[in-house]
Copies of this chain bind each other. A is one copy, B any other.
Amino acid sequence: METLSELSERGLIRRLRPQLVTRPDVLLGAGDDCALVKPPPPGEELVLKSDPIIASRHFLPETDPKRIGHKALGRVLSDFAAMGATPQWALIDFTAPPDTPISVADGIYAGIKTLAERHHVAIVGGDTTSDTTLSLHVFAAGSVPAGKAMRRAAANPGDSLYVTGTLGRSFESGRHLSFEPRLDVGRWLLNRGIRCAIDISDGLASELWHIAEESNARLFLIDSAVPLSPTCVRMPDPLIHALDDGEDFELLFSVPPDDFHFLTDFLQAFPDVLCTPIGMVGEYLEGGRVTYGNGESGGKILPKKGFDHFSE
């Protein structure tokens, strides 16, 4: 079995270069000190994002390499979707132990290429280095209409909270490796005038808290309405998984109270995407709060667990 140690770094780069997707606005792709591209036109803002995936944490040693590549780029594209933005160019930093089979590197880049082509994202550079762990650090740049990007801080009293798809047990179902970033939905929401959205990477509970804290508002979760994934439903305590597992890469967003036909129009635009109302935005409240249930006390505080990288 051929491993990366038999290829020089430049040999590996030469091998992977045909996998690099390009587009007409790339003036200088991989191979020089930096990449050069045409900037977004006036009226657009530049959008920047990086995200790593690391072996044993975000995928297992036996994971199909194509799916590793898909997930590495897909996570970053999901962040663009959450803002209603369009990713355009990406750089891939790849680290791997020298005894990694070349077929693994080939598979990872093939997975990246397939997803990049589908969303017209050019791969304009990056770096390969040997390390003890297999990891991918993906950086992407793109654009969004000026002043229109959906933000965590933009929820307002009276808004309804919606979520796409179903949640929970993404690791067990394999969804975390195969999800399609919801870029079309994100752009549609932005064009609809939606101002507040986030993607679900840490878990629904955690993302609700992000919106509550950044918007300084109280959020009410209708816990019985949270859409559970088929893998999740079979668990003894499915709601916990839907709230805390994370890596669903669905969109959570808030819809203004005067958008009467929102759900009808959404389902017409995306007949295959489940879209579920799961709560409301209450009054402004410094620091924010997320509650659920509707007892006389006004509901219980939702624990903001989610996924944390250093304290587990």
- Assess whether A79 is interfacial by the CB under 8 Å rule: yes
Q: Give min CB distance, A59 to chain B, whole Å.
A: 13
Establish whether residues A35 and B8, one from each chain, have CB atoms under 8 Å apart when the complex forms.
no
Considering the chains assembled together, what is the distance between the CA atoms of A38 and B79 in angstroms?
19
B-contact bits for A109-131, CB 8 A (1 contact / 0 none): 00000000000000011111111
Q: Give min CB distance, A289 to chain B, whole Å.
A: 17
Q: Give min CB distance, A93 to chain B, whole Å.
A: 5
B-contact bits for A128-141, CB 8 A (1 contact / 0 none): 11111101010101
Neighbouring B residues of A222 by C-beta, 8 Å = none
Q: Give min CB distance, A123 to chain B, whole Å.
A: 11
Considering the chains assembled together, what is the distance between the CA atoms of A28 and B12 in angstroms?
37
Considering the chains assembled together, what is the distance between the CA atoms of A172 and B118 in angstroms?
47
Q: A139-B139, A149-B28 are in contact. Are A311 and B8 (CB under 8 A)?
A: yes
A34 interface neighbour in B35, B80, B132, B309, Cβ under 8 Å = B80
Considering the chains assembled together, what is the distance between the CA atoms of A132 and B31 in angstroms?
30
Q: Give min CB distance, A222 to chain B, whole Å.
A: 24
Q: A57-B129, A91-B49, A137-B137 are in contact. Are A10 and B308 (CB under 8 A)?
A: yes
A10, closest chain B residue (CB)? B308
Establish whether residues A129 and B9, one from each chain, have CB atoms under 8 Å apart when the complex forms.
no
Most chain B CB within 10 A, of A8, A45, A82, A214, is at: A45
Establish whether residues B95 and A135, one from each chain, have CB atoms under 8 Å apart when the complex forms.
yes
Neighbouring B residues of A6 by C-beta, 8 Å = 311
- Assess whether A61 is interfacial by the CB under 8 Å rule: no
A37 interface neighbour in B46, B57, B311, Cβ under 8 Å = B46
Establish whether residues A132 and B129, one from each chain, have CB atoms under 8 Å apart when the complex forms.
no
A152 interface neighbour in B33, B49, B135, Cβ under 8 Å = B33
Establish whether residues A308 and B8, one from each chain, have CB atoms under 8 Å apart when the complex forms.
yes
Neighbouring B residues of A127 by C-beta, 8 Å = 50-52
Establish whether residues B35 and A95, one from each chain, have CB atoms under 8 Å apart when the complex forms.
no
- Assess whether A267 is interfacial by the CB under 8 Å rule: no
B-contact bits for A225-251, CB 8 A (1 contact / 0 none): 000000000000000000000000000
Q: A28-B151, A31-B214, A32-B152 are in contact. Are A137 and B310 (CB under 8 A)?
A: no
Considering the chains assembled together, what is the distance between the CA atoms of A54 and B82 in angstroms?
31
Considering the chains assembled together, what is the distance between the CA atoms of A243 and B141 in angstroms?
36
- Assess whether A21 is interfacial by the CB under 8 Å rule: no
Neighbouring B residues of A129 by C-beta, 8 Å = 52, 54, 57, 309
A-B contact pairs, 21 of them (CB 8 A): A5-B310, A7-B311, A9-B311, A11-B310, A32-B153, A33-B198, A33-B199, A34-B80, A35-B49, A36-B45, A36-B46, A38-B46, A39-B46, A46-B46, A48-B124, A50-B91, A50-B92, A51-B93, A91-B139, A128-B309, A133-B133
